[in-house]
Structure 1
Amino acid sequence: MKQNFFLFVLMFFSVMVFSQKTVSGKITDEDGVGIPSASVTIEEPGKDAILAYGITNAKGEYKITFTSSESNVDLKVKGFNQKPITKQISNSDQNLNFKMQSEATEIKEVQLKTKLITARGDTIAYDLKAFDSKSDRTLADVMKKIPGIEVNADGTVLYQGNAINKFYVEGKDLMEGGYGTITNSLPKDAIAKLEVLENHQPVKMLQGKIPSDAAAINIKLKKSVTMTGRGEVGIGADPLLWNVKLTPMFFSKTSQWVVNYKTNNVGDQVENEGNILGSYNPWEGRRGNVSQNDWLNVETSGTPSTPVKRYLFNNVHYASANYLTNIDKAKQWELKAIANYTNNAVEREDYRETTYQTGDLAGSKVINSTRNDFYTDKVRGELLFTKNAKKGFFKNSTSFSQFWNADRAFAVREGRSAGQAVESPTSNFQNSLSTIIPWKEKMVNLRSYISYQDDQQMLKVSPADYLRFPFRENEDAPIGTIAFLPNTVAQQNFRLKTLDTSHSANISFTKKGWTFTPSVGFDFSNDRLDTDFNAIALSGIPNFNGPAYENNLKFTEINPNASLGINYKTDVWNVFANLPVNFTSIKAEDDVRGVSKDLNRTTFTPNLFAQYTFASFWKASVNANVSNNFGDIQTAYAGYMLLSPNGFNVMDANNPIPQTTTSALGSRLEYRNPLNNLFFNVNYSYSDSKRNLLSAPLLDPNTGFTLMQYLDIENHAKSNRLSAEVGKYFPSFKTNASVNYRNTTSLSDAFLDEVRFKNKNNNQSYGFKLNNTYFSWMSVDFNMNLSRTKQEGRTGTLGINRGYNHNLAVFFYPLEDHNIGFSWDQLNTTNNDTTYRNPFFDLSYQFTWSKKKIDFELKWMNISNRKVFETYDLNGTLNSLTYTRIQLRPSQVMFTVKFNFK
């Protein structure tokens, strides 16, 4: 496979480099002074299509690389207040200088055919009016129609299939990654244009030195001082329903703020808008979404592959506030304050029939149902001080998060039932500091990160005799079943305290496009785990406990490291290499369970990336990396823990510390031509993870409960991924269309019923997206996806799952200020000869009070009143087939008033 990959890469670059030509030179005025910002384009003779283009620098110099099969091409030069030049040149490498004559003109930038997309260097600007429809109200509504851009329900933006690294409003990063609130709530009427900043390096000191292949979004507003925002107030029936969204915003040159309050019980998952969505940039320090260490869980009902609004029974209150202000006269220092609070209650219910197809369990069927209540109660606050200037960078982030979450379940399995409950308070404190200090022609970067988290959890199952698990004292003993006395309550207690620190320093040298960054660092983490399990009779007398069900584990990891970063940046090449050497020392100790493990290992984990830009619109890249994971405290405990009522988990005290070494290779070919509205990308990746421990679950054939154990056996998990997408906007028809294809194959070792075998999983999907606003009386949005999943396990092919789903939204505009909407969600699943079809229909009517810019909407959701979703799932590890029926939201009617804040 690796040989095939390198052959593919070799052919890949051979095709790219073949027949490429470069034209360079200087553009001057009549006095011989260089003309900056003049556009130079290469076109095929007689064709109205640009092959490549460039913009002159401050000295009037230009350089263009292009590919053409023609013997001659046309070179065109345009500059502000200069007479255009057109000259036919040979298709060869050459240096051409031009002297332009003065002439009044209004041309300011490269524009072709239409003004809906303009390009200037790495910045692509979109006129949103060219893409919106009469039913669109927010930035997200319009962005979904722009070629090359995708927007998820939580507001996440993808450009050319990859997450953006920054989201700016007027060049300021108010949201610090949690930009979903703005995406979903900024009115389109307040926006002048949207800019995509390709190859965006957010740290100004590193621009031109440390390259980036990620893109950013910048929103340009119509007014320099803007008070705006979006609001909705809705009420409905069956049962009493509400949906309130209030998001006022303010933007100026020195300060910005967004205040947000959203509450509903209609299945709208608004609380995810505050998540940090941008990709991680280590030069800015270390920030991310704080999450609990959820070791203990109740049995959980499944979720269908439908839009969340179809099945989510919620009662959510989400409030957030973001504030930014400049705190110095030079406007280089910024203070940012971020706070959010979530209170959410979710109900869920399902029914499952699981049939096992191997070993002693072959043909046995386990029936169970689960009803859940999930309670989320969390608050987060963060304070940031930042300076991002050409001559200095500083960023310090201090945050505190507190959770008071709780989960409930009532489960029925093979005639037995039990109530289950988890209480899980968590506290987290983090501080991240990164600063870059100029030192002569060098840069010194200092980084420091500290995180402390305290997780407490308690799982209760009543009555305890609901729990019946396979159990084995040692490898030679027969498998038995743990049973509990009647009228007892099983209780698993858990507490984990985690301290995580990381400190590093580096110095960067830059010369002629090369930047070398040697660095040293020291990482330290310490985890302390305390657990115990017991079953207590209603009388209060313990009747099941002991040291076998206790943990008092201390897990310490020390990682001194050194690395050399190498960056090379030219007009066409973007090369990055990181060559780190790590010494890892791990020690796990538990006197109660007799655990004493240690590991000392020196590793070399290189990371390589190279990107080549050619013919103006093409980019090709390859990457390769090696990484090591030596496990964590979750893989070191030796006392039995009831992680969920489905089974106990335990690690053998004699097993070594887990070690996983992953080797990964990847390549990407990308074409984006904003001048003819065409975007294309194809990606391939291969990874191989070598592990020293293999999971070996023990199944109870009567209950389906599982005991998880691990064997000291080398094993592998390999995957191949191929994806491609092409999209184009057709201005004449006001249509944006795209198609995509994905193929993923994974192969992994598995162990069940004393037999080792291979699990193979292949998934293929085909997608199509279309939106059209050509007719003044109608707009259409259509998304379709076909999928095929084949799983092979111990007994051969387990089955083939096929899926089909589409989302159709049609809006009609019979009269001015009136629209009628119809949506159809269709989700089909097929397992062998059995097909389940799940259609959903919605109907809406909206009247717009144009003078006040207020919308009045009446909407009927799930017209057919479909109450359950049915599907099949395959599990290759357990060799099982599961039929699932999940409760859905019933038919409901909502009346909503929508408006803008100014």
Structure 2
Amino acid sequence: MNKVLPIISCLFLLCFSHSMQAQILSGTVTDAENNQPLEAVMISVMRGNITIDYALTDAKGRYSLAWKHSGTLQLSASLLGYKREVRDISTAGTQNFNLQSEAIALKEVQIRPGRIHTRKDTVRYDLAQFASSKDVHIKDVLKKLPGVDVDENGRVSYKGKAINHYFVEGMDVTGGRYNQINNNLDAKAVKTAEIMENYQSVKALKGKINSDEVALNLKLDPKARDQWIANGTLGAGGSDDGNKLLWEGSLNTLQLGKGKQSVYNYKTNNNGKDLSTEQMVLAGTAWQQIPLSAFLSQPGISAPLDKKRLLFNETHTLNGNRMYKWNDDRSLRLQAGYTHDLIRQQRGNTQIYYQPTDTIRIDETYHYRLTSDAANLELRYEDNSSRNYISNRFTVDGELNRGRSEELRQTLRTSQLNAGNFFNLIRNGKNGTWEFLSATRYAYQPASLLLEEGKSKFDQHSFYTDNSAAYLKKYNGFTRQYKAGVQGEWAAIKYQTANFNASNLSLYLTPYFQLERGKWSSSLSLPLKAQRYFSQQRSFLFFNPSLYTRYQLDYHWKFSLYANLKRSAGDITDLYPGLYRTDYRTWRNGNGLFPTSTQQTYNLYGEYKNTVQEFFVTASLTYNHSNRNTLLEQSVSEDAIVYTRREHPNHTDSWTLSSTLSKGVYDWYLKTSLTVLLSRNNGEQLTSLPGSDGTSQSLLQAYRYDYLKVEPKLIWSPAEVFEAEYHATMGYGGSKIGSDTHLTPLLDFVQRLRLMFSIGQVDLCLSGEHYRNDLGEGTHLNTVFADASLIYKTKRWRFEANLNNLFNKKEYAYTTYSATQSYTSRLNIRPREAMITVNYQF
């Protein structure tokens, strides 16, 4: 592989040829009576009666076309309700139009406008054609759009890919925390939703660097734009156990316009609604997200079950966002948020380790209490013009977490405080484009583990910086960029009385090439990095090339191929040489080794979309292969699990075939979608076993895990009086360990059905869930939930009565496989509960 990619890069550099650079035809279209700009005017370039190129004007009446033609052609401007204007043209330049309005006499025909419109890389959804009176917030409408999906955490995806930007009127007021919009913006306030593919967020790089990013932009109804919209909610209720008062409350205000925007929210509840997603960053720029590694972490509270069933919480969350935008380029955003969360959970676990000569079973049952406080602050300034780009983002984040289990007699504290600054400067000149990047972050992560035997204390510090300069030039569809930079990290840990340092410094050079030829587009990146670890006295030279090729057959079909080779060294948690404890029974030992890895990734992708037929389909095949020089050896007993790093070359590989299909049916007001995933994972596990002579021996086990997942969804709104939603997930997975152990395949099936009926101002909602879980060894569990709610709506008031878990189910269990073990968890779920809430829109 190391020899193949340099050969590919040489062939790539030789494949371009020279031709004339394209000129630009541009202009503005206005109304002749009032001189106001006209949007969606069709600008057509014609040779005789044949259209050879076209563009649509934007909201400011502007259009732009690459001029690659010769001879005398015709330029036409047309819009329904205006007189068409045609003129002869032979060269590029500026062509402005001033259209005269024209009365149109129509015969008695039935005109049915489409719900989805397309302009180049932009797909526009008319939300009035999808929304119903039952939709409360904008996320309720977004999930009805063909090609668009919204998952349980609120993450929005388009054709199976998570969006990279979320705008309202072209502004990102939440900085990627877009659930603050999804969960609070009134569905009726939004007129259209735009999906922009191949979105280049930096204007100075448009036409120079291609982008595969996807952006969502919501355009508001003019009546809602720039208006303050406020909502308040209060609710109370009780549960079947009779000893706890349930509450829910919220107050939110939004002002969303084209020049300034504000979002302020306060929410609280103890009824199982997860509010942590309000502060979750779901979109953003990758180079501004520096990962943090930690020695201790809180155990997760999760299950293949809707979170509202298992979350015993007391949550308060508060956030404020204010954004100013001057002209089309400059903006300033201020953000702050805080969340306090108290979670209680009772669960039991059974872990079975399948070792070469033995099987070990570990059972535990415990109550767990987690108290968390998290805060964030952000200030960002951006000047985004076509000539220059300046961006500076300053962030401060902090967390305090305390987990306690009385049965395990364990208290786990994890905290972090980090501050970062991210600066980006781009300048376009006559001969090329210069770019400067600077990322700096300091993090402090104190943590402790308190057990009966004593207390383990960690003090972890990290200072990270990455600074680079790049020069870019594009000619005749061929882009060359050369980036050079220095990257360094001071990483130190004090564990008990021992100090350890994993500081490192890197110098890197990244040549990047991009070639565009008609329907083809290819890019080649050749990063070369020299990295030095000072305390370990180790040096590395990493070469991480990647190749991407895209073929756009036409508007409907697109195919791409991606290949990447990545070599890297471990972080401070991997390099720590000593023995340390992570919980009451688990130990880790770095054994003084230095882990490195080499990973190869290949992806073949294809898609088809037809917005007229509301049909979207994608298919992707991915292969990953990793080689590592070390492997964690596990030693398992009923009292302790010890993971020790051993020098043992090993590899893992995986195949993943995935496909998404989404279809809207206009006449039936129906949206259907289907997601299919098939994967195979192969790896190796090293296990330490006691020998007959009192010594231990290490045995290597190969394992394979196969998994199939099918997920159909359906949303049907045939009339205002009825709406149905169905969502099912079927998972089938089996594991093979060594040559003799075959774990029983697990079939897990989840069905969710939601029915809504409307009579005047009253809505009745009935919903149910069916979980069928294999627990292994021929046993399975069926669990059925049912909920009901009654809603009464007036102009500003909304009254809602809810009854959840009608059958009063109180326990749930599931089993999963991982490497050479199986894991069965049993947990308590929320009992039958009743709530009454009142909402008022100010």
TM class by shorter chain equals 0.7 to 0.9
Q: How does 1:193-592 map to 2 (within 5 A)?
A: 193-223=192-222, 224-238=225-239, 239-282=244-287, 286-287=288-289, 293-297=293-297, 300=299, 303-326=302-325, 330=327, 332-359=329-356, 361-362=358-359, 364-411=360-407, 418-462=408-452, 464=453, 490-532=454-496, 551-569=498-516, 572-588=519-535
1:281 shift after superposition: 4.8
Match of 2:114 in 1: 115
1:739-759 CA deviation, whole Å, 9 max, x = no partner?
121011111111113211211
SS at match of 2:133: coil
1:39 shift after superposition: 6.4
Query: Hey, what's the Cα distance between the residues in 1 that align with 2:220 and 2:100?
Result: 34
Match of 2:828 in 1: 887
Counterpart of 1:763 (choices 707, 710, 732) is: 707
Query: Hey, what's the Cα distance between the residues in 2 that align with 1:354 and 1:454?
Result: 34
855-864 or 221-230, larger mean C-alpha shift = 221-230
Counterpart of 1:872 (choices 793, 800, 815) is: 815
SS at match of 1:600: strand
Does the 8 Å contact 1:385/1:395 carry over to 2? Answer: yes
1:514 shift after superposition: 2.1
1:554–1:400: structure 2 CA closer, same or farther, 3 Å change rule? same
TM-score normalised according to structure 1 size = 0.80
1:294–1:558: structure 2 CA closer, same or farther, 3 Å change rule? closer
Does the 8 Å contact 1:551/1:639 carry over to 2? Answer: no
1:731 aligns with 2:727: no
Letter paired with 2:210 = P
Does the 8 Å contact 2:42/2:77 carry over to 1? Answer: no
Match of 2:642 in 1: 707
TM-score normalised according to structure 2 size = 0.85
1:243-297 CA deviation, whole Å, 9 max, x = no partner?
1222211123321110011111111111222222115354xxx146x86x54225
1:336–1:56: structure 2 CA closer, same or farther, 3 Å change rule? closer
1:825 shift after superposition: 1.5
Letter paired with 1:226 = Q
1:311 shift after superposition: 0.1
SS at match of 1:200: coil
Query: Hey, what's the Cα distance between the residues in 1 that align with 2:64 and 2:371?
Result: 62
1:764-813 CA deviation, whole Å, 9 max, x = no partner?
01111100001332100111111101111134312211110021110011
Query: Hey, what's the Cα distance between the residues in 2 that align with 1:240 and 1:639?
Result: 49
Match of 2:34 in 1: none
Structure 1 unpaired stretches of 5+: 3-25, 29-34, 42-51, 65-76, 86-100, 412-417, 465-489, 533-549, 589-596
Aligned alpha-carbon RMSD (Å) = 3.0
1:744–1:113: structure 2 CA closer, same or farther, 3 Å change rule? farther
Query: Hey, what's the Cα distance between the residues in 2 that align with 1:226 and 1:889?
Result: 40
1:740 aligns with 2:678: no
1:61–1:384: structure 2 CA closer, same or farther, 3 Å change rule? closer
Letter paired with 1:296 = L
787-796 or 661-670, larger mean C-alpha shift = 787-796
Match of 1:617 in 2: 556
1:598 shift after superposition: 2.9
1:340–1:302: structure 2 CA closer, same or farther, 3 Å change rule? closer
Letter paired with 2:426 = I
Counterpart of 1:799 (choices 741, 744, 765) is: 744
Match of 2:579 in 1: 640
Letter paired with 2:540 = R
1:181-239 CA deviation, whole Å, 9 max, x = no partner?
10121101111111111111111111111111121011111124232254432211122
Match of 1:481 in 2: none
Query: Hey, what's the Cα distance between the residues in 1 that align with 2:53 and 2:310?
Result: 50
Letter paired with 1:717 = T
1:799–1:390: structure 2 CA closer, same or farther, 3 Å change rule? same
1:691 aligns with 2:628: yes
1:38 shift after superposition: 3.7
1:628–1:301: structure 2 CA closer, same or farther, 3 Å change rule? closer
Query: Hey, what's the Cα distance between the residues in 1 that align with 2:777 and 2:578?
Result: 42
Letter paired with 1:862 = N
Query: Hey, what's the Cα distance between the residues in 2 that align with 1:59 and 1:344?
Result: 52
Does the 8 Å contact 1:302/1:350 carry over to 2? Answer: no
Does the 8 Å contact 1:83/1:103 carry over to 2? Answer: no
SS at match of 1:634: helix
Does the 8 Å contact 2:542/2:568 carry over to 1? Answer: no
1:245–1:294: structure 2 CA closer, same or farther, 3 Å change rule? farther
1:699–1:232: structure 2 CA closer, same or farther, 3 Å change rule? same
1:722–1:820: structure 2 CA closer, same or farther, 3 Å change rule? same
1:603 aligns with 2:567: no
Does the 8 Å contact 1:525/1:557 carry over to 2? Answer: yes
Letter paired with 1:390 = S
1:443 shift after superposition: 1.4
Counterpart of 1:670 (choices 607, 611, 614) is: 607
762-771 or 437-446, larger mean C-alpha shift = 437-446
1:160 shift after superposition: 0.8
1:315 shift after superposition: 0.6
1:369 shift after superposition: 0.9
Letter paired with 1:682 = A
Q: How does 1:842-881 map to 2 (within 5 A)?
A: 842-849=787-794, 851-852=795-796, 854-877=797-820, 880-881=821-822
Letter paired with 2:609 = R
Query: Hey, what's the Cα distance between the residues in 2 that align with 1:783 and 1:666?
Result: 29
1:106–1:683: structure 2 CA closer, same or farther, 3 Å change rule? farther
1:104 shift after superposition: 4.9
1:433-474 CA deviation, whole Å, 9 max, x = no partner?
111122224211111111111111111112x3xxxxxxxxxx
1:573-627 CA deviation, whole Å, 9 max, x = no partner?
3332211111111234xxxxxxxx3321212211221222122111111111111
Query: Hey, what's the Cα distance between the residues in 1 that align with 2:736 and 2:234?
Result: 51
Query: Hey, what's the Cα distance between the residues in 1 that align with 2:805 and 2:319?
Result: 31
1:392-446 CA deviation, whole Å, 9 max, x = no partner?
11111111122222111133xxxxxx41112233221111111112222421111
Letter paired with 2:773 = T
Structure 2 unpaired stretches of 5+: 3-24, 28-39, 47-51, 58-62, 70-75, 87-98, 690-697
Counterpart of 1:649 (choices 588, 609, 620) is: 588
Match of 2:174 in 1: 175
1:897–1:448: structure 2 CA closer, same or farther, 3 Å change rule? same
Query: Hey, what's the Cα distance between the residues in 2 that align with 1:626 and 1:357?
Result: 33
Letter paired with 1:582 = K
Match of 1:49 in 2: none
Match of 1:787 in 2: 731
1:147 shift after superposition: 0.7
Does the 8 Å contact 1:204/1:388 carry over to 2? Answer: yes
1:355-387 CA deviation, whole Å, 9 max, x = no partner?
44434543x433211211111112111111111
Letter paired with 2:782 = R
Counterpart of 1:816 (choices 754, 760, 773) is: 760
Letter paired with 1:510 = K
SS at match of 1:189: helix
Query: Hey, what's the Cα distance between the residues in 1 that align with 2:200 and 2:329?
Result: 17
Query: Hey, what's the Cα distance between the residues in 1 that align with 2:85 and 2:111?
Result: 15
Match of 1:751 in 2: 686
1:390–1:297: structure 2 CA closer, same or farther, 3 Å change rule? closer
Does the 8 Å contact 2:170/2:258 carry over to 1? Answer: no
1:899–1:782: structure 2 CA closer, same or farther, 3 Å change rule? farther
1:167 shift after superposition: 1.0
Query: Hey, what's the Cα distance between the residues in 1 that align with 2:204 and 2:65?
Result: 25
